[in-house]
Amino acid sequence: MEFYGFKYNSSINKQHNKVIVIDTLTHLQYWSVFLYIHPLESISDISLVGGGKHIKPGEISLAHYGVLFLDEFPEFSKDAIEVLRQPLEDGEICISRANSSITYPAKTTLICAANPCRCGFYLDPSRKCNCTPKMVQQYFGKLSQPLLDRIDIHAEVHPVKYDELAKNGEEETSAVIRERVNSARNIQLDRYKGLGIYSNSELSPPLIKKYCELDRFTSNLLKRAFEKLGLSARAHSRILKVARTIADMEGSETIKSEHVAEAIQYRSLDRIKI
Amino acid sequence: MREIEYWIWISSLEGMGAVKAMGLLKMYKNPRIVYEMSEHELKQTKLLTDKNIQEILDKQKRERVNKIYELMIKHNIKMINVFDDNYPYNLKQIYDPPIALYYKGKFELNDFAIAIVGSRRTTNYGSYSAKKLAYDLSLRGVPIVSGLARGIDSIAHEGCLAAGGKTIAVLGCGLDTIYPPENTKLCEDIIKSDGLVISEYPPGMPPLQHNFPARNRIISGISSGVLVVEAAKRSGSLITACYALEQGREVFAIPGNIDCAYSRGTNQLIKDGAKMVLCAEDVLEEFDYIEASDNSEAQNDLSKRGSKTNFSIFRGLSTEEIRIAKIISNGIHDIDEIIDRSNNPTKEVNNILFMLEMKGVITQLPGKIFNMCL
């Protein structure tokens, strides 16, 4: 698959598994591994989204069409977390300074990991959490609701017991899963041919209406879920896009009620009220 | 000065404990007499240390009474003193009853009340059982006493309000401020529903750390029994249980998993002889409590709920949904265990759980824990 970001002031080319960003204004070049970027918690907001005296693209632009992994997400500075809102929504980041204004592409798969609290044992029944309720609330309160709304999938992961580590079960291997993901990707590439987009996540509201149609039972279910769980309007299009992807993974042409149900299950952080 | 201002004055002396103040009042019957006594006369009582006497004669403390009185009027706080006929009989019997109680709401304390206490940090199991027992007890007309703290205390108050019962909150600070602040709304709800918020501290007293253990003696003092829902090994709720034993009240505890850190205190209580509580009847059978006769409606609701758990709750569900709902109602709450137990693919179980939630049969809690709806 090849992706291009040529409509921007700066361009990104894929060469030998590296990305070269050539800034057309300053003629500076930057290199980065294309697929995966993993900055530390101490990163500043400027180096995450780009900027500086001589404007440079940030990590989020270097991970364009790749993966940006932020481990221990609430440990990042408040500014660095909140500045992600615009690129996550628009797929690009516009940096304006006195001497120039540049728009960098930033269509990245953002993956964040977080502990439930500072000590890491909140909601763990076997170990006692040392945090006060206020501390737990402060820790997760650092992630604002508008930001969480822009993250498609929230999954809660439980501590793994030793028995499960040692078990030689019939788990799916990553190779099998990769095949499934690739076939879903190919379905999406075929479907969006000529539209200038490559995946479900890039669907604009009119396209969502066209490609994410629900039957009456399913839309009723979604409506009931919204009333019951108090989801935000922003979550609506996210749920539809994720449901579309789940349907693609199964090779289903239409979105069925179970796909929507699964997509809603992935919004667990919307319901945590500590 | 009005009579009430003398009472405010004597109850606002931080350095003098409830026992000494009570001793003085037993001698002189009226705080006004104490107020007007000279240093020499105070020394002759032989109850007080030099520090106490200095505090009694302190001018600043006498001048601030007026301010406290204004605060009381501003926040609609009333006061009842220890010689008042309405002063709760149970509380008067303890070793160190507060000489004055500040309160908001309707002062109508029955002889019978149950305190529900527990730790501030709770598990889903703890909050579920606190809510359930508070709800069931108040449906039977039992007032619930607790401390308005975070965690189990707030949940017990909420459970009682949900059943339309009377609940009494005992605070560890002046009633002009509500601590913790997020419970301000809950406090208003309690007053609105004919409940009561009380404190032995005059308005203006901040929530100091040492106020809370002292507050616990009032919680157990005005109740006939104390139910500890969840407590760690060292916990404030265990202090309340200790007070309850000293005051001759019944102590109840809800059992938990033996390896759960949050249930270590309650399990230890049961081991030491506290009564294990599995349902509301376990609490009530210890007392000659006759259920209020005017709550037949609540009784109907209760018996309806009893039958509901048996079959009508499953009405309109598919067989698979009933199977999963039964697994949860049998006490398996964790998603991994539900999947293990059901032998269905993860995806399918997730969908069924979601459908059950939408149908209002179960609720999902943080950490992918599922509970039956109350």
Q: Which single residue is written with the structure tokens 């607790």?
A: B146
Contact assignment for B259 to A132 by CB distance below 8 Å: no
Q: Which residues of B touch A125 (CB under 8 A)?
A: 123, 125, 257, 260-262
Using a CB–CB cut-off of 8 Å, the residues of B that contact A are 120-121, 123-125, 150-151, 232, 257, 259-262, 334-336, 347, 350-351, 353-355, 357-358, 364, 366-368
Cβ B101 vs Cβ B80: under 8 Å:
yes
**A14-27: average pLDDT:** 48
Percent of chain A with pLDDT over 90: 16
Cα of B159 to nearest chain A Cα, Å: 18
Q: Which range is most confident: A59-73, A224-238, B146-160?
A: B146-160
Predicted pLDDT at B145: 94
Query: Does residue A130 belong to the interface with chain B, where contact is any CB pair within 8 Å?
Result: no
* Banded pLDDT at A2 (limits 50, 70, 90): very low
Contact assignment for B367 to A127 by CB distance below 8 Å: no
Q: What is the 3-state secondary structure (H, E, C) of B164-227?
A: CCCEEEECCCCCCCCCCHHHHHHHHHHHHCCCEEEECCCCCCCCCCCHHHHHHHHHHHCCCEEE
Nearest CA in chain B to A130: B121
Q: Which residues of B touch A156 (CB under 8 A)?
A: 366-368
Nearest CA in chain A to B149: A133
Query: Among partner residues B335, B351, B364, which is closest to A258 by beta-carbon distance?
Result: B351
CA-to-CA dists, residue A8 to A22, A92, A94, angstroms: 11, 9, 10
CA-to-CA dists, residue A269 to A32, A144, B74, angstroms: 32, 11, 42
Residue A272 has pLDDT above 70, yes or no: no
CA-to-CA dists, residue B97 to A66, B17, B20, B45, angstroms: 69, 10, 11, 21
Query: Among partner residues B150, B347, B357, which is closest to A262 by beta-carbon distance?
Result: B347
Cα distance between residue B31 and residue B65, in whole Å: 13
Best CA proximity match to A274, nearest among B185, B227, B127: B127
Q: What is the DSSP letter of B348?
A: H
Q: Which residues of B touch A132 (CB under 8 A)?
A: 120-121
Contact assignment for B262 to A125 by CB distance below 8 Å: yes
Cα distance between residue B182 and residue B13, in whole Å: 29
Cβ B327 vs Cβ B338: under 8 Å:
yes
**A123-148: average pLDDT:** 81
Query: Among partner residues B120, B124, B358, which is closest to A225 by beta-carbon distance?
Result: B358
Query: Among partner residues B261, B335, B357, which is closest to A128 by beta-carbon distance?
Result: B261
Predicted pLDDT at A3: 38
Mapped onto helix, strand or coil, the DSSP state of residue A30 is strand
Q: Which of residues 242-261 of A touch B (CB under 8 A)?
A: 258, 261
| Average pLDDT over chain A, rounded to an integer | 80
**A154-165: average pLDDT:** 79
Predicted pLDDT at B315: 72
Predicted pLDDT at B320: 87
Predicted pLDDT at B359: 84
Query: Among partner residues B260, B335, B357, which is closest to A125 by beta-carbon distance?
Result: B260
Residues A45-54: tens digit of each pLDDT:
998 888 888 7
* Banded pLDDT at A164 (limits 50, 70, 90): confident
CA dihedral (A186, A188, A192, A197) in degrees, to 10, reads -100
Percent of chain A with pLDDT over 70: 84
Predicted pLDDT at A195: 86
Give the residue ranges of chain B where pLDDT is below 50: 293-294, 306-308, 310
Q: Which of residues 151-170 of A touch B (CB under 8 A)?
A: 156, 158
* Banded pLDDT at A157 (limits 50, 70, 90): confident
A230 Ramachandran zone, left/alpha/beta (phi>0; psi -120 to 50) = left
Contact assignment for B367 to A156 by CB distance below 8 Å: yes
Interface mutation vs chain B, best among A252, A258, A264, most B CBs within 10 Å: A258
Query: Does residue A220 belong to the interface with chain B, where contact is any CB pair within 8 Å?
Result: no
Residues B40-86: tens digit of each pLDDT:
888 888 888 888 888 888 888 888 999 999 999 999 999 999 998 88
* Banded pLDDT at A20 (limits 50, 70, 90): low
Single-letter code of the amino acid located at B299: Q
Cα distance between residue B371 and residue A269, in whole Å: 18
Q: Which residues of B touch A258 (CB under 8 A)?
A: 347, 351
Cα of A246 to nearest chain B Cα, Å: 11
Single-letter code of the amino acid located at A26: T
Query: Does residue A125 belong to the interface with chain B, where contact is any CB pair within 8 Å?
Result: yes
Query: Does residue A119 belong to the interface with chain B, where contact is any CB pair within 8 Å?
Result: no
What would the two tokens of residue B19 be? 């026992």
Interface mutation vs chain A, best among B179, B320, B337, B357, most A CBs within 10 Å: B357
Cβ B156 vs Cβ B116: under 8 Å:
yes
What would the two tokens of residue B338 be? 């539900």
Mapped onto helix, strand or coil, the DSSP state of residue B129 is helix
Asked if omega into B143 is within 30° of 0 (cis), the reply is no
Contact assignment for A156 to B121 by CB distance below 8 Å: no
Burial class (CB in 10 A: 0-12, 13-18, 19+), B5: middle
Cα distance between residue A139 and residue A116, in whole Å: 8
Best CA proximity match to B119, nearest among B278, B261, B313, B252: B261
Q: Which residues of B touch A266 (CB under 8 A)?
A: none
Q: Which single residue is written with the structure tokens 């989204």?
A: A49
Burial profile B99-118: b = 16 or more Cβ within 10 angstroms, e = fewer: bbbbbbbebebeebbbbbbb
Predicted pLDDT at A168: 67
Pairs across A and B, CB distance < 8 A: 61
Cβ A72 vs Cβ A83: under 8 Å:
no
